[in-house]
Amino acid sequence: METEIQVIEADITTLDVDVIVNAANKELAPGGGVCGAIHAAAGPQLAKECATLGGCPTGEARITKGYDLPAKWVIHAVGPVWGGGESGEDGLLRECYLSSLQLARDHGLGSIAFPAISTGIYGYPPQRAAEVAVGAALDDVRGHEQAGKDTPLKRIVFCCFGADSAELHRAALTSRRH
Q: How many domains does the chain have?
A: 1
* pLDDT of 3 strictly over 70: yes
Instruction: Name 15's Cβ contacts closer than 8 Å, sequence gap at least 6.
Output: 70, 71, 113, 157, 159
* pLDDT of 1 strictly over 70: no
* pLDDT of 35 strictly over 60: yes
pLDDT digits (tens, 9 = 90+) for 68-79: 999 999 999 999
Residue 93 is predicted with a pLDDT of 98
pLDDT digits (tens, 9 = 90+) for 40-97: 999 999 999 999 999 999 999 999 999 999 999 999 999 999 999 999 999 999 999 9
CATH at 136: 3.40.220.10
Which three-class secondary structure state does DSSP give residue 95?
helix
**Domain membership of residue 34 as a residue range:** 4-177
Residue 151 is predicted with a pLDDT of 81
Residue 90 is predicted with a pLDDT of 97
What is the distance between the alpha carbons of residues 107 and 84, in angstroms, rounded to a whole number?
35
What is the distance between the alpha carbons of residues 16 and 26, in angstroms, rounded to a whole number?
27
